[in-house]
Structure 1
Amino acid sequence: MKKSTAKKSWIMTAIIYAIVFAVFNLLVFVIAKEKNGVFWMSYAFMCLAFVIQIVSMLLALRTLETETVFMGIPLASLSLYYFFAAIFVGAVFMFFQNAPFKLALVLQVLVLAVYVIVAILALMSRDVVQDVNDNLKENVEAIKTLTVDVDVFIPQVNDPALKKALKKLSETIKYSDPMSNAAVADIEDQIMQTVNELRINIENSRNTEAIQTCKDIEVLFMQRNSLLKATK
């Protein structure tokens, strides 16, 4: 989404919230004749519900690839459930203002506390999953760049056998599955380390060792591809 479009969307959303809040206040103060401590406490919790709902939407709709969910329910939906529950409970106590103050306080704090705990758990879960996805993306990019690294080695060597081994290795990497997952992370780390060994061997003109290193990398890629296929 373009910045101008996103900004316009947020402005329109803010206007909607402002209108709803204005109508809410109009209804509350027109309908309610008497206003005691239970009324004002309930009104405060209902106003707080508006604020929390807006903050929750902002947190839930941040530009991240991983959706913020709890037990499969998006945080944006959970925030709406909390909002309507808070408004309903507050409205009940505004209507029954003779209810015990402590009862009204406990119930409304309970509704708020349950939602805050659920929201925190959802955000923590989202961040953990996002970190895992970011790490996997880094591994995917690293594997893709290996083809370029190996292709750079080919014109640097004169030994025909080593040149052939490098070309074969380049083809193996090129046609390997570019995707990644946690199951192959250790093998991919070994591949990176072995490619570094290959570079050192080539720089020091250790052709025999470099050819063997190419074979070792081929074996690692075979293991990686088999494990990747088995875990999809």
Structure 2
Amino acid sequence: MNISKNKGLSLLITFIIFAVYNIIAFMLPNGKGGMFWTGYGFTMAAILLTAGVGFYTFRRKGLKSKVYGVSLLSLVWSYLIAQLIIGLMEMALPSIPFQYGIILNAILLGACLIGLIAADIAIDEVERIDETVKKKVSYIKSLQTDIEGLIGKAEDEAAKKVLKDLAEAIRYSDPMSSSQLSAIENEIKVKAAGLKDAAASFDSSAIVSICGEMQQLVADRNRTCKTIK
């Protein structure tokens, strides 16, 4: 099994906490009654949960996913630290009825699990929105790249200038797309295809004419974008 550096470090830290906590727990001179095993059991569960969340977080692909996963790690580590402290206190105070310990630890664990689930749902939603935005802005980015690629193919300065002006207009146009823009964007695509053909045949007059038409369509698109927001 391939274990990344971060996963390996996460496993090592968890193992160190596990080992140190067990040494402290079983070196305590107090009797090992119900409260001791309550604190010990919930703390072991917290350590295992922390290790599992760490592996789950580092399994995510992409920089943004890993950054968003920091919220999961922050939450579970906060829970672990609190549980470590509470667990040690419970093991050091065996005279208190263990039922109180179970209630307290169960509330803490439940709050952590609810928080982890809510945070993971929020992370998935943020990633979904990011992916949607990428798809919506890809139209303009692709169109801008295509037009900029035609500038070098133009033979005279007039054609180069209108292509540069068109690329600049597209660059500063609203990047977001939507279904309400599909009709005008399809017109722009048709004109862009014609512009490629004109550039391939070195037809400068056609380039100038089509660029003018596309400038108007891009302006119309920008106005439509403002009305639907």
TM-score by length of 1: 0.68
Structure 2 residues without counterparts, runs of 5 or longer:
152-158, 196-205
Structure 1 residues without counterparts, runs of 5 or longer:
155-163
CA contact (8 A) 2:140 2:171 kept: no
Q: Output the CA distance in 2 between the equivalents of 1:87 and 1:142.
A: 52
Q: Output the CA distance in 1 between the equivalents of 2:171 and 2:144.
A: 13
Match of residue 192 from structure 1: 185
Aligned pairs for 1:79-90 (under 5 A) are: 79-90=76-87
* Aligned match for 1:44, one of 41, 50, 59: 41
Aligned in 2, Cα 1:178/1:14: closer, same or farther, shift over 3 Å?
Answer: farther
Paired residue total: 211
Q: Output the CA distance in 1 between the equivalents of 2:173 and 2:36.
A: 58
1:51-110 deviations in Å (ceiling 9; x for gaps): 1112223344434415437xxx93322222111111122222212223223221111010
CA contact (8 A) 1:194 1:213 kept: no
Matched, 1:176 2:170: yes
CA contact (8 A) 1:176 1:221 kept: no
Aligned in 2, Cα 1:178/1:211: closer, same or farther, shift over 3 Å?
Answer: closer
Q: Output the CA distance in 1 between the equivalents of 2:29 and 2:166.
A: 76
Q: Output the CA distance in 1 between the equivalents of 2:97 and 2:78.
A: 25
CA contact (8 A) 2:150 2:163 kept: no
Aligned pairs for 1:69-88 (under 5 A) are: 74-88=71-85
Aligned pairs for 1:208-219 (under 5 A) are: 214=214, 216-219=216-219
Q: Output the CA distance in 2 between the equivalents of 1:23 and 1:173.
A: 63
TM-score by length of 2: 0.69
Amino acid at match of 1:117: I
Q: Which moved more, 1:143-152 or 1:79-88?
A: 143-152
Q: Percent identity?
A: 21
Q: Output the CA distance in 1 between the equivalents of 2:14 and 2:144.
A: 52
Two-structure CA RMSD over aligned residues (Å) = 4.3
Matched, 1:29 2:26: yes
